[in-house]
Amino acid sequence: MNALSAVAFGVVLSACAGLRAFLPVFSASLAAQLFHLALPEHLAWLDRPETLVVFGVATLLELLGDKLPVVDHLLDSVQVFTKPALAALAATPFLYQLSPEYAIAIAIIVGAPIALGVHATKAAARVGSTTMTAGFGNPVLSVAEDVAAFGAVALAFLAPLAALVLTGVLLAMLVRFARRVRRRYRRAAA
pLDDT, position 112: 92
Longest CA pairwise span in the chain (Å): 56
Alpha-carbon gap, residue 173 to 44, rounded angstroms: 36
Q: Give per-residue pLDDT as tens, 99-127.
A: 778 888 888 998 999 999 899 888 888 88
Handedness of CA 68, 29, 18, 81 (dihedral sign): positive
Per-residue pLDDT, 60: 96
CA dihedral 104, 106, 111, 113 (to 10 degrees): 120
Query: Nearest-CA neighbor of 133 among 85, 69, 73?
Result: 69
Give the pLDDT score at 58: 96
Instruction: Kindly report, residue by residue over 35-67, the tens digit of the pLDDT.
Output: 887 777 888 899 999 999 999 999 999 999 999
Whether pLDDT at 82 is above 90? yes
Provide mean pLDDT across the span 144-173: 89
Distance, CA of 150 to chain centre: 9
Look up residue 122 and give its DSSP letter.
H
pLDDT band at residue 177 using 50, 70 and 90 as cut-offs = confident
pTM, two decimal places: 0.83
Confidence of residue 180 (pLDDT cuts 50, 70, 90): confident
Per DSSP, the residues of 37-60 read ----GGGGGGGSHHHHHHHHHHHH
